[in-house]
Amino acid sequence: MSTDEIINGVFPKCWVRKVEPFVDVRGQVYPCCWIGTDFMVNEQMQKMFDPLLERSHLDNNTLDEIVADPPWKTWSHLISSSTTCAKMCANPDHQITSYKQPESSNLFDRSMSVHMEPTSRCTLACDRCIRTRALGKYQVTDMSLEHVEKIAASGFSHISLSGNFGDPIYHRKFHELIGILNQYGKGYSVTTNGSRRNTDWWAKTISLLQSNPNAGIRFSVDGLEDTNHIYRVNSKWGDIELAMRGCADAGIHTIWKFIVFKHNQHQIEEARALATSWGVEFAYVTSSRYGPRYGYSMDDDPLKPDEKYVIPPPGLSSSQK
C-alpha cells in the first residue's frame, strides 16, 4: 500500500501532504510538523536554519511572503517527509481507524489554513504537555496584536488558534484578538480546555464567536467529571460545562475532542451521549503520549489505554509496541 493510499484511507484530511504554517507566540513561522517538539528551546534547529528563521519571522516579512519563499518550501518539505507524524501516517502496520474527524466540519479544513499559538499562558499542568516538562525554559507571554493582524491580513482563509505551551483563551487580550480576525472576515477555530473563565467572560466570547459564521470552538476534555482532571490537572468541570453548553446553545459550531487514556476509555460512549444531549459534536482521538519518552515501558505506562487507541511512539517497531 502506498503512502498516499494510507493517508487518504486513514487520515482523509491529513495536512502532512500540504504543510501548514505554524506561527509561535513570538511571531516565528515554522512548518506545522514542528508542532509538539521543543522548537522554542531547540538550539540545534537554530543553528541549522538560522538565516531562514530570520526571514520567516513576522517582524521581517508578511506571512504570504514567507510561505512563498523557495527556502521555506524546501525546509517544509524536508520536515514533513521526515518527522513523526509523516512516519505514523505512512505506517501500514498501524492504520488508525479510530481517529474520527467530522466530515461536515469546516474547522478541520486545512487546505488554506495557518496554525497560530497566541499565548504561552495556561492554568493547567498536564503531565505530558511540553509546557509542564519544559517549565522555566520558555517565556510566558502573549502574541502581539500586530502579529495577529499580520496573520489575519494574509491570504489564508482559516486560522487555527491552539497551542503547545498555552491555551488561547488566556491571552490577555483574547477578545481584541478574535475581534481582529472577525474584522478581516477570517474563519477560525479556538482549541481550549475551557476552564477558569467566568460567566461574563464567556458571554462576551460567545457574542464575538456568534458574529462570525465561520468561527467555531473545540474543547479538549479527556473524560467526564470524575476523570477529566486526572490528565488535565487543575481543570474545572463546572467551568467547562458552562462554556461548552453556552457555546452550543448559542449556535456556535462546538466540538468536544476526547483523548483516550486508560482511565477514560470506558467513558467514550457515555461522553458521546452527553455531548449529543448538549448539541455538541463529539470526536475521540488516539495519542502517542506513552512509553519511553515519559519514563515508562509501553507495558507499564499507567496512562496507556488499549492498543486500538494508541499511536506507536516514534522509533518503536511492531514487536516493541
Lowest mean pLDDT among 9-18, 92-101, 151-160, 196-205: 92-101
Closest CA to 161 of 169, 153, 149, 150: 169
- Residues contacting 166, CB < 8 A, separation 6+: 25, 117, 118, 119, 120, 121, 122, 131
Range with lowest mean pLDDT among 37-51, 166-180, 273-287: 37-51
What pLDDT score does 42 carry?
Answer: 55
Mean pLDDT of 74-99: 48
- Whether the model clears a pTM of 0.75, i.e. scores above it, the answer is yes
Q: What is the pLDDT of residue 172?
A: 97
**pLDDT tens by residue, 146-198:** 999 999 999 888 899 998 789 999 999 999 999 999 999 999 999 999 999 99
33, 80 in Cβ contact below 8 A? yes
Question: Where do we find the cell 474563519?
Answer: 187
Among 80-84, 274-278, 282-286, the minimum mean pLDDT is found in 80-84
Question: Architecture of 3-320 per CATH?
Answer: Alpha-Beta Barrel (3.20)
pLDDT of res. 278: 98
pLDDT of residue 164: 79
Among the residue ranges 3-12, 47-56, 67-76, the one predicted with the least confidence is: 3-12
Percentage of residues in the chain with pLDDT exceeding 70?
Answer: 74
**Range from 168-182, 188-202, 220-234, 274-288 carrying the lowest mean pLDDT:** 274-288
φ, ψ of residue 173 to 5 degrees: the values are -125, 45
- What's residue 60's pLDDT? 95
Q: What pLDDT is recorded for position 313?
A: 56
pLDDT at 33: 60
> For the chain, what are the domain ranges?
3-320
Q: Categorise residue 193: left if φ over 0, alpha if ψ from -120 to 50, beta otherwise.
A: alpha
Q: What share of the chain is helix, strand, coil (3-state, %, to 5)?
A: 40, 15, 45
Q: Which of 29-33, 51-55, 229-233 has the highest mean pLDDT?
A: 229-233
CA dihedral sign of residues 153, 167, 141, 211: positive
Range from 59-73, 181-195, 196-210 carrying the lowest mean pLDDT = 59-73
Average pLDDT over residues 66-87: 67
**Residues in contact with 62: Cβ distance below 8 Å, sequence separation at least 6, in sequence order:** 150, 153, 154
Section 117-138 average pLDDT: 86
- What is the structure's pLDDT at 310? 87
User: How confident is the model at residue 110, as a pLDDT?
Assistant: 40
pLDDT of residue 165: 85
